[in-house]
Amino acid sequence: MLRWPTMKDKVVVITGASSGIGAALAKVIGERGAKPVLAARRERELGEAARAAAPDALAVVTDATKRADVESLVHAAIDRFGHIDVWVNNAGRGITRSVAELTDEDFDEMMLVNVKSALYGMQAVLPHFRELGRGHIVNVSSMLGRVPFAPQRSAYSAAKHALNSLTANLRMELREPHPGIHVSVVHPGVVATEFGLNALHGGVDSRQMPYAQSPEEVAAVIADVIERPRADVYTRPGAEQMIIGYYSAEDMGHAETQPPFARPKP
- Given 156, 211, 234, 246, which residue is catalytic? 156
Domain-embedded: residue 40:
yes
**Tens place of pLDDT for every residue, the chain, 266 residues?**
333 347 999 999 999 999 999 999 999 999 999 999 999 999 999 999 999 999 999 999 999 999 999 999 999 999 999 999 999 999 999 999 999 999 999 999 999 999 999 999 999 999 999 999 999 999 999 999 999 889 999 999 999 999 999 999 999 999 999 999 999 999 999 998 989 899 999 988 888 887 889 999 999 999 999 999 999 999 999 999 999 999 999 999 999 998 888 765 55
Q: Tell me whether strands 35-40 and 58-61 are parallel, antiparallel or unpaired.
A: parallel
The CATH number linked to 89 is 3.40.50.720
> 192: domain range?
11-235
What does the pLDDT read at residue 4? 39
What does the pLDDT read at residue 108? 98
Domain-embedded: residue 265:
no
Total number of domains in the chain: 1
- As a 3-state breakdown, the chain gives helix, strand, coil percent values, each rounded to 5, of 45, 15, 40
What does the pLDDT read at residue 259? 83
What does the pLDDT read at residue 149? 87
Buried b (16+ CB within 10 A) or exposed e, 229-259: beebbbbbeebeebeeebeeeeeeeebeeee
Instruction: For residue 225, give every residue at least 6 positions away whose Cβ sits within 8 Å of its Cβ, in sequence order, or none.
Output: 138, 184, 186, 233
- Confirm whether 156 is a catalytic residue: yes
What does the pLDDT read at residue 263? 66
pTM for the model:
0.94
Domain-embedded: residue 125:
yes
What does the pLDDT read at residue 194? 87
What does the pLDDT read at residue 65? 98
Domain-embedded: residue 199:
yes
Q: Using CA of residue 265, residue 239, residue 140, residue 8, what is the dihedral sign? A: positive
Q: Look at residues 156, 188, 185 and name the one whose alpha carbon lies nearest to residue 172.
A: 185
In terms of C-beta density within 10 A (0-12 exposed, 13-18 middle, 19 or more buried), how is residue 73 classed?
buried
Q: Are 76 and 108 in contact (CB under 8 A)?
A: no
Domain-embedded: residue 245:
no
Domain-embedded: residue 18:
yes
Domain-embedded: residue 39:
yes
Domain-embedded: residue 255:
no
